[in-house]
């Protein structure tokens, strides 16, 4: 006689938790999941670090050395720099000989060694940003000589010329677009696309795995179809959410630590939170749709074709999102699609990151998506339940919907 342990009837919640728990432990143990997560986290951290250095280089001032023979041009250099949009810092250098080591180790990019004619010493070549400044300076020096010859004050003339600039009035001024916002919008769009795509595919493959291995028959002898579907969607959702939180956290953390974003132009915490919220909403919708469609086929080879419509649906907002939204967040196509369920989960967080959205817009878009979810639950539950035990060929969507 064998031991007969006490058996209790399991509740809906317990069954779903068990099923979700299996999904989670299976995925967490899979190398593919671990490495994808590591790669994504590494990508955002490295991306942030790279951005930090690129930003530093373009923003940092050009250092120009000035020997005593040329000390008179220091002031003019700074003034010319500000007109051409280059910040210039000058530094006294004792002589041309003393300038050599400073040029070689990069302390200064160029050293002005003489003014008549203007002579400049560089290490390998003149930085692009300095070329117009030094060009103007040479012209001014030539002008000064002429002014002196005519008996004027070259210093006075030089200063006035250096500061002269056209006064431009824009009819429709372009709003100041912070590069941090563009990057955040990009990252939000790409991250949501990748995570929704991967998590959605895991759901579809998981459903078909159970069908093709026939284990579904054993499972459905003890749990209800909707419990099995709910547990699977929940388990993979938790896994996907963990991945998104890790990546978003790593990205936002890197950005905050390196001071990549200007707190006045983008609220990093709020943007990160919205990305996570929209992942949950988007995943729920896509997972339900994909679980239902995947239940129609019995072989892994057929998953691709049966889920193609939904995958295409996912591509549309993504492509529009990353190709238009960062440059033109108020583009009508972007704005309209950001309210449409299935498109909203990618476009709305991008618009939020780009800072071009009113709170009521976010609320409306979220409300529309949330309102569709119960309909999807009902539809997916029906299709899944009717199709999951039928093996063999591909089942028509219509049959799965109408069969009782």
Partner 1 sequence: MCGMGALTMESLHKTYGEVRALRDLSMEVRAGEIVGFVGSNGAGKSTTMRIVLGVLEADSGEVRWDGRPVDLAVRQRIGYMPEERGLYPRMKVSDQLVYLARLHGLNPSSAKAAMEHWTEVLGIAERRGDEILKLSLGNQQRVQLAAALVHSPEILVLDEPFSGLDPVAVDVMSGVLREQADAGVPVLFSSHQLELVESLCDRVGIIKSGSMVKFGGIEELRRTDDRRWVVDGPPASTWITAVPSAHLVSAQGTRSVVEVRGQAADAVDQEILRAAMAAGPVHEFGLLRPSLTELYRHVVTTDVTATDRETVSA
What does the binding site for partner 1 look like in residue numbers (CB under 8 A)? 1-10, 15, 18-19, 22, 26, 209-210, 213-224, 389, 391
- CA separation for the pair 63, 91 (Å, rounded): 7
Do residues 342 and 317 lie in contact, with contact meaning Cβ atoms separated by under 8 Å?
yes
When the beta carbons of 197 and 220 are compared against partner 1, the nearer one is 220
- Of 239 and 285, nearer to partner 1 (C-beta) is 239
Q: To the nearest whole angstrom, how small is the minimum distance from the Cβ of residue 18 to partner 1?
A: 6
Name the residue nearer to partner 1 (CB basis): 226 or 339. Answer: 226
Contact 350, 325 (CB under 8 A): yes
Nearer to partner 1, 58 or 404 (CB): 404
* Shortest separation between residue 224's beta carbon and partner 1, angstroms: 7
Minimum CB separation of residue 228 from partner 1 in Å reads 10
CB of 22: closest distance to partner 1 in angstroms?
A: 6
Residue 10 CB, nearest distance to partner 1 (Å)? 5
Nearer to partner 1, 22 or 299 (CB): 22
Gap between the Cα atoms of 377 and 373, Å rounded: 6
- Looking only at the bridges linking them, the beta strands covering 88-92 and 110-115 are unpaired
Q: 110-115 and 62-66 as β-strands: parallel, antiparallel, unpaired?
A: parallel
Q: Which distant-in-sequence residues (6+ apart) come within 8 Å of 259 by Cβ?
A: 52
Alpha-carbon Rg for the chain, nearest whole angstrom, is: 32
Which residues, 6+ apart, have CB-to-CB distance to 325 below 8 Å? 185, 189, 331, 334, 347, 350, 351, 354
Burial of 313: CB neighbours in 10 Å, binned 0-12, 13-18, 19+: middle
Separation of alpha carbons 176 and 179, rounded Å: 9
* Residue 32 beta carbon to partner 1: minimum distance, rounded to whole angstroms: 12
Of the two residues 63 and 390, which places its CB atom closer to partner 1 in the complex?
390
Angle between helices 12-29 and 225-257 (to 10 degrees): 50
Q: How far is the CB of 218 from partner 1 (least distance, A)?
A: 6
CB closer to partner 1, 95 vs 213: 213
């Amino acid at each position: 006689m064998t031991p007969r342990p006490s058996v209790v009837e399991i509740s809906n919640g317990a069954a779903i938790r068990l099923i979700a728990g299996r999904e989670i432990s299976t995925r967490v143990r899979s190398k593919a999941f671990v490495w994808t997560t590591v790669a994504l986290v590494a990508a955002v951290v490295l991306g942030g670090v790279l951005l930090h250095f690129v930003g530093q280089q373009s923003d940092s001032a050009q250092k120009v050395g000035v020997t005593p023979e040329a000390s008179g041009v220091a002031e003019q250099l700074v003034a010319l720099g500000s007109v051409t949009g280059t910040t210039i810092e000058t530094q006294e250098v004792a002589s041309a000989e003393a300038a050599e080591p400073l040029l070689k180790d990069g302390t200064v990019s160029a050293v002005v060694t003489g003014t008549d004619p203007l002579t400049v010493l560089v290490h390998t070549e003149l930085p692009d940003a300095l070329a117009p400044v030094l060009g103007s300076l040479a012209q001014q020096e030539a002008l000064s000589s002429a002014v002196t010859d005519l008996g004027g004050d070259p210093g006075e003339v030089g200063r006035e010329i250096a500061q002269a600039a056209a006064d431009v009035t824009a009819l429709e001024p372009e709003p100041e677009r912070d590069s941090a916002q563009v990057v955040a919008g990009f990252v939000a769009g790409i991250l949501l696309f990748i995570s929704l795509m991967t998590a959605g595919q895991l759901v579809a493959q998981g459903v078909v795995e159970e069908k093709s291995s026939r284990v579904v028959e054993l499972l459905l002898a003890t749990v209800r179809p909707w419990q099995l579907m709910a547990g699977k969607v929940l388990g993979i959702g938790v896994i996907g959410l963990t991945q998104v939180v890790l990546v978003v956290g790593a990205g936002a953390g890197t950005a905050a630590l390196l001071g990549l974003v200007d707190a006045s132009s983008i609220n990093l915490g709020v943007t990160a939170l919205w990305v996570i919220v929209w992942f949950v909403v988007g995943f729920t919708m896509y997972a339900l749709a994909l679980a239902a469609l995947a239940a129609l086929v019995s072989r892994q080879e057929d998953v691709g074709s049966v889920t193609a419509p939904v995958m295409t649906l996912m591509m549309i907002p993504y492509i529009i999102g990353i190709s238009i939204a960062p440059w033109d967040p108020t583009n009508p196509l972007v704005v309209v699609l950001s309210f449409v369920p299935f498109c909203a989960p990618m476009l709305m967080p991008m618009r939020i990151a780009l800072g071009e959205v009113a709170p009521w817009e976010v609320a409306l878009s979220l409300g529309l998506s949330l309102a569709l979810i119960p309909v999807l639950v009902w539809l997916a539950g029906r299709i899944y339940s009717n199709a999951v035990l039928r093996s063999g060929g591909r089942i028509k969507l219509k049959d799965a919907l109408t069969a009782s």
